[in-house]
């Protein structure tokens, strides 16, 4: 195997077949005839001394060597094209790009339904994978290109990490429909004293969402009121519906889940709001496919600050948070 004898255009064929699992589809993607694509595959097999792809009833299946080589080659080709041209063309309707995102279970419930539907329509051949990296490892994962972007309550300080605030997320309390802090309580707001009288449920996910609820309760000196710490926000509605406990959750999650579970939502005017951010690494700032998907995330989820773009934030927020 002599790398100097390898035509780099053959690597584009390797990546395209790996993405499409089809010689014909790869040829169309590269504007090559099927015989030319088949010939390129034969040359690749000779160079690597490996079949690379095995034909099955479900299509071409990559060999172990191919799976080791193709993803790395794809990433390096993207980087090379970006470095040489400064800006490569990206066609979302025909691209077979795969994006890797990191978000928590709460992020999946908040973002994935809307994002997946938009990608299915606007980038029908693309793939999106949630890697769910622990919050403390996000910066390293972005730098290593293990993930392309992430969504969550994060405060990036590492060099090379870029971020945009999508929206501010206040917290609310949820309880069973018949729960009240005191007999005859009126309204939908809980005072600090009323919150302090309740047994609390909190979620402490590790991926892309810090312990923001726990931090709030620590500042309010309510740590001793936490009865249960769950790993995932998805567990909280069932727990409050079958107990006399109170859970604290982000407003968006409560709004989306309330029609399904029927819990009561309480306002906590003293609870701080947290910034939900989109993060990426500076080295990918000019990658056209990542520019496109970041723009899509902005379009779907960003709520302008008060007075920005002449928009009414409350109306934007309601549209973004409509139940999926």
Q: Answer for the pair 212, 104: CB distance below 8 angstroms, yes or no.
A: no
Instruction: Decide: 90 and 53 in contact? Cβ < 8 Å.
Output: no
* Local confidence band at 34 (pLDDT 50, 70, 90 cut-offs): confident
Nearest CA to 172 out of 110, 236, 254 is that of: 254
Q: What's residue 198's pLDDT?
A: 93
The residue-averaged pLDDT of 50-66 equals 88
Give yes or no for residue 306 having a pLDDT over 70.
Answer: no
Please determine whether the domains at 98-168+275-320 and 171-272 fall in the same fold group of CATH.
yes
Which among 66, 5, 13, 65 has a CA at the least distance from the CA of 38?
Answer: 13
Average pLDDT of the residues in 73-92: 75
> Is 105's pLDDT higher than 70?
yes
Q: Which residues 6+ apart lie within 8 Å of 55 measured at CB?
A: 61
- Return the sign of the alpha-carbon dihedral for residues 45, 73, 124, 255: positive
Mean pLDDT (whole number) for 239-263? 94
Which one, of 162, 156, 92, lies nearest residue 128 by Cα?
Answer: 92
Question: 């405060």: which residue's tokens?
Answer: 155
Ranges of each domain in the chain: 3-85, 98-168+275-320, 171-272
Render pLDDT for 153-164 as a digit per residue (tens, 0 to 9).
Answer: 888 778 899 998
When pLDDT is averaged across residues 41-48 and rounded to a whole number, the result is 92
> Residue 226, SS3?
strand
pLDDT recorded at residue 2: 66
Cα–Cα distance between 299 and 295 in angstroms, integer?
6
Contacts with 28 (C-beta within 8 Å, 6 or more apart), sequence order: none
With beta carbons less than 8 A apart as the criterion, state whether 14 and 44 touch.
Answer: yes
The listed CATH number (1.10.10.10, 3.30.450.20, 1.10.287.1080, 3.40.718.10) that belongs to domain 3-85: 1.10.10.10
By mean pLDDT, which of 3-7, 153-157, 197-201 is the weakest?
3-7
Class assignment of domain 171-272? alpha beta
Edge-to-edge strands of the sheet including 171-175? 226-230, 200-203, 246-250, 171-175, 264-267
CA distances from 2 to 6, 7, 46, 184 (A): 7, 11, 11, 82
Provide the Cα torsion 173, 177, 180, 186; round to 10°.
90
Question: What is the reported pLDDT for 89?
Answer: 66
Least confident of 1-10, 90-99, 120-129: 1-10
CA 269 to chain centroid? 29
Q: What gap in Å lies between CA 165 and CA 213, rounded to an integer?
A: 19
- What is the spatial distance between Cα 14 and Cα 187, in angstroms, rounded to a whole number? 63
Render pLDDT for 16-26 as a digit per residue (tens, 0 to 9): 888 778 888 78
Per-residue pLDDT tens over the stretch 210-225? 566 777 788 888 888 9
Average pLDDT over residues 262-287: 90
Q: Are 23 and 38 in contact (CB under 8 A)?
A: yes
Q: Which residue has the tokens 């004293």?
A: 193
Q: Which residue has the higher pLDDT, 10 or 89?
A: 10
Lowest mean pLDDT among 3-12, 174-183, 186-195, 278-287: 3-12
Rounded Cα–Cα distance for residues 102 and 130 (Å) = 5
State the Cα–Cα distance between residues 131 and 122, nearest whole angstrom: 22
DSSP letter for 207, please.
B
User: What are all long-range contacts of 58-62, with beta carbons under 8 Å and residues at least 24 apart?
Assistant: 59/21, 59/22, 60/17, 60/21, 60/22, 60/23, 61/21, 62/18
Considering the domain delimited by 98-168+275-320, tell me its CATH architecture. 3-Layer(aba) Sandwich (3.40)
Which of 101-110, 195-204, 296-305 is least confident? 296-305
């Amino acid at each position: 195997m002599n790398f100097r004898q390898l035509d780099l255009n053959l690597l584009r064929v390797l990546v395209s077949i790996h993405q499409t699992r089809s010689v014909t589809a790869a040829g169309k993607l590269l504007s090559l005839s099927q015989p030319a694509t088949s010939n390129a595959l034969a040359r690749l097999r000779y160079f690597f001394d490996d079949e690379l792809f095995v034909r099955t009833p479900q299509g071409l299946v990559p060999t172990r060597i191919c799976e080791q080589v193709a993803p790395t080659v794809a990433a390096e080709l993207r980087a090379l094209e970006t470095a040489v041209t400064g800006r490569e063309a990206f066609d979302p309707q025909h691209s077979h790009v795969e994006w890797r995102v990191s978000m928590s279970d709460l992020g999946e419930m908040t973002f994935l339904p809307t994002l997946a539907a938009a990608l299915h329509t606007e980038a029908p051949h693309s793939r999106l994978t949630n890697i769910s990296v622990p919050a403390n490892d996000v910066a390293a994962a972005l730098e290593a290109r293990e993930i392309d972007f992430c969504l969550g309550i994060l405060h990036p300080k590492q060099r090379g990490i870029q971020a945009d605030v999508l929206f501010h997320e206040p917290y609310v309390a949820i309880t069973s429909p018949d729960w009240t802090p005191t007999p005859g309580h009126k309204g939908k707001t809980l005072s600090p004293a009323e919150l302090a009288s309740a047994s609390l449920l909190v979620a402490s996910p590790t991926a892309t969402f810090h312990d923001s609820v726990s931090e709030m309760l620590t500042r309010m000196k309510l740590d001793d009121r936490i009865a249960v710490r769950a790993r995932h926000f998805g567990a909280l509605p069932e727990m409050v519906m079958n107990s006399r406990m109170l859970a604290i959750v982000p407003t968006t999650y409560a709004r989306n889940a309330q029609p399904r579970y029927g819990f009561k939502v309480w306002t906590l005017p003293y609870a701080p709001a947290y910034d939900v951010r989109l993060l990426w690494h500076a080295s990918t700032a000019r990658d056209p496919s990542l520019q496109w998907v970041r723009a899509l995330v902005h379009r779907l989820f960003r709520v302008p600050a008060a007075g920005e773009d002449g928009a009414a934030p409350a109306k934007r927020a309601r549209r973004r948070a409509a139940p999926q």
